[in-house]
Amino acid sequence: MQAAKQHEEFYQALVRKDPSYEGVFFVGVRTTGIFCRPTCSARKPKPENVTFYRSIQEAMQHGYRPCKVCQPLQPAGVAPEAYAHLITELNTDPMLKLRDGDLRARGLDPATVRRWFLKNYQMTFHTYQRLMRINKAFGSIRYGDAITQSAFEHGFESLGHFQDVFKKAFGVSPSRTRDQLVITYNRILTPLGPMLAGVTDAGVCLLEFVDRRMLPTQIQRIQKLLNATALPGEHPLLKQLADELNAYFAGSLQTFSIPLAIPGTDFQQRVWQALQTIPYGGLRSYQEQAQVLGQPEAVRAVAKANGDNRLAIIVPCHRVIGKDGKLTGYGGGLWRKQWLLDHEQKYLRAN
């Protein structure tokens, strides 16, 4: 009965192309011999012709080939090749400014590009490329370049326009740059979907799944707490974070070593530190978490502080469950929480 119910649940998710099931299952289609991710845009098979698998490995062991449409061997959220090329170009050439006509000349629909960037970066493509230039200009001014030189080297046609855009981003003129803090952010792909990561020179301050409803609010909060401006770009800590996350999902890393920069109240800091003491593959109830803090009556406050955690996976709030053993309260979705717990248990047993 349970198997039939789950089959129906997964099939309806497949029909809806529901992205919240990315990483939960892969579907093998017996009539074609291929397997797909839940969001595949190909024509849907009949329910009696599909089998659901929990992993790529399982699907391939049963003889299925990866679908060429949805490319299930790629991490969920991979940028379309043309968009990835745009991002690479913008990272390489700070003078580059692409308008709608330039996108059309490349065979891209500006409205479609706009929607993709809104979904994945919470901003339009044109805002993204403008802020990329501002971020690079900020770095060059901070490390000694003249304001006028930096403005023209990063694609701004006039000093006045550069100063207006800069002040809008930072709230101050370029001459006061040395007093400013930047949160550099970018996407990191994972088997559970893309995550938005933000870092300062001091450490990681944000790591959330891009489909989390509270993500825009979290970005605003962290900017306010750090008195900083969040801008897209590249940073050595983002590369380190991506490498450590890849190792975690591959099962070869259990403890993150990247530095953290997570401002909060004294109580929040204590809760987040306590979370980091829960061992890989371990579980702790909210009640036990409160007891660890020496405040057994503060269960609700502990749960709220867990919910305020802005560093998914690294500060492992997914390892906290209800007193009755049930999964509760995870901003990335309970299906992701279950996946992470199963993932850790699998590799804990393997080692």
**Residues with a known catalytic role:** 317
Q: Tell me the residue type at 27.
A: V
Distances (CA, A) of 69 to 43, 48, 65, 106: 11, 22, 12, 22
Query: What is the SS3 string spanning 250-261?
Result: HCCCCCCCCCEC
Name, in order, each residue with C-beta under 8 angstroms of 276's C-beta and a sequence gap of 6 or more. 315, 316
Rounded Cα–Cα distance for residues 115 and 104 (Å): 15
**Helices and strands (H and E) in the chain: how many:** 14, 10
* CA torsion through residues 159, 164, 165, 168, sign: positive
The candidate with the shortest Cα–Cα distance to 206, out of 263, 135, 140, 138, is 263
Rounded Cα–Cα distance for residues 161 and 177 (Å): 17
Locate 127 and state its tokens.
């805002």
Rounded Cα–Cα distance for residues 112 and 106 (Å): 13
Locate 47 and state its tokens.
């329910």
Residues facing residue 27 across a β-bridge: 36, 52
Per DSSP bridges, beta strands 181-188 and 195-199 are: antiparallel
Name, in order, each residue with C-beta under 8 angstroms of 51's C-beta and a sequence gap of 6 or more. 27, 28, 30, 62
Using left for φ > 0, alpha for ψ between -120 and 50, and beta otherwise, residue 267 falls in: alpha
Rounded Cα–Cα distance for residues 147 and 174 (Å): 7
Residue whose token pair is 């989390």: 212
Phi, psi values for residue 229, rounded to 5°: -115, 130
